[in-house]
Amino acid sequence: MYDGQPEPGRNDPCWCGSGRKYKKCHHAIDERLQALYEAGEEVPVRGMLKTQADIEGVKRSAAVNIGALDYVAERIGPGTTTADIDRWVHDYTVEHGAIPAPLDYEGFPKSVCTSVDEVVCHGIPREDEVLKEGDIINVDCSTILDGYYSDSSRMFCIGDVPPEKADLVRVTKEAVEEGLKAVKPWGHLGDVGAAVNAYAQAHGYSVVREFGGHGIGLEFHEDPFVSFVTEAGTGPIMAPGLMFTIEPMINMGKAPIDMSDPNGWTVRTADGLPTAQWEVQIVVTEDGYELLSW
């Protein structure tokens, strides 16, 4: 078949582990993917399509991830250090029986990413980084529960922020909503990035090219890579069961980034202007998508 795996017999149990007969389960999806594959489309392999059990597991993980971000939202303000945010997320996550996914991930030293103002992503929490009125910060939280991964991030405005920064934060959230509107089962993943990019450009902003969203569920970062500078009608087919994040990084100024921080992680805008990011995790369904983490 399209993914090089053998096709089960019609009355055999479905490959997804649902316990249902193949003909009553993934047979129809496989037929459609096979036809698209034969027509030259890029199709997700079977292993990328999440089962109902996977989705339930991810939802339990996401409940902790959402709770951790809500916990931050209730407390963050002027005088908070990014190390405080790290402690809040770490302790909340562990108290709910889960593991902060960033901790020790490829050597990342903390439990959450905290990215202030011109930091695009992968800011490392520090005791000496004190939030002050006018700052904007992305808190990017990821959780492992029973082996299931959830990942979402939010922006927080500290006190009153200058209107240009508040606009950037709002428009970036709206860009994610535009991306969500473009999620259609059997559509192309490139439609999502095209919608995000068009919205950002219409507001005079630019979208970071080097980083994007990703498949997720049984691993932190799975295929596909989700770029937000794509053309509509390109990229893999969004088959039901495909789970991924929408997390554009949108710059007030130009798109180029600076990755020269000696800590090996923290990414900044090359022009030093502010940047914003919101991240949601979704799964494509037969008639749209389901929001899993935000």
As measured in angstroms, the least distance from the Cβ of 47 to ligand MF3 is 20
Contact string 189-208 vs ligand MF3 (x = CB under 6 A): --------------------
Q: How far is the CB of 8 from ligand MF3 (least distance, A)?
A: 34
Residue number, 16 or 183, with CB nearest to ligand MF3: 183
Q: List residues near Co ion by CB under 5 A.
A: 151, 245
As a dihedral over the C-alpha atoms of residue 289, residue 93, residue 107, residue 135, rounded to 10 degrees, the angle is: 80
Question: Which stretch, 16-24, 84-92, 102-110, 193-201, contacts ligand MF3 (CB under 6 A)?
Answer: 102-110
Is residue 228 part of the contact set for ligand MF3 (CB under 6 A)?
no
- Rounded Cα distance between 229 and 208, Å, is 8
Q: Which of 105, 186, 225, 294: binder of ligand MF3 (CB under 6 A)?
A: 105
d(CA 75, CA 85): 9
Largest Cα span, the chain: 63
The residue number with the shortest CB distance to ligand MF3 is 102
Residue selected from 84, 86, 118, 279 as contacting ligand MF3 according to rule CB under 6 A: 279
Whether the Cβ atoms of residue 246 and residue 179 lie closer than 8 Å to each other? yes
Q: Cβ closer to ligand MF3: 74 or 106?
A: 106
Which residue from 91, 176, 211, 183 is spatially nearest to 141, judged by alpha carbons? 91
Residue 247 binds ligand MF3, judged by CB under 6 A: yes
Question: Which residue do the tokens 């799975």 mark?
Answer: 222
Q: Is 86 in the site for ligand MF3 (CB under 6 A)?
A: no
Partner interacting with residue 102 (select from ligand MF3, Co ion, none; CB below 5-8 Å by kind):
ligand MF3
Cβ atoms of residues 223 and 42 within 8 Å? no
Contacts with ligand MF3 in 138-157 (CB under 6 A)? 140, 142, 151
Phi, psi at residue 143, to the nearest 5°? -130, 145
Where residue 289 falls (left for φ over 0; alpha for ψ -120 to 50; beta otherwise) is beta
For ligand MF3, give the closer residue by CB, 46 or 268.
268
From the list 182, 189, 196, 188, the residue with the least C-alpha distance to 247 is 196
Nearest by Cα to 99 from 151, 149, 144: 144
Q: Which amino acid is at 228?
A: F
The interface partner of residue 113, options being Co ion, ligand MF3, none and the CB cut-off 5 to 8 Å by kind, is ligand MF3
Q: Residues interacting with ligand MF3, by CB under 6 A?
A: 102, 105, 108, 113, 122, 140, 142, 151, 214, 247, 279
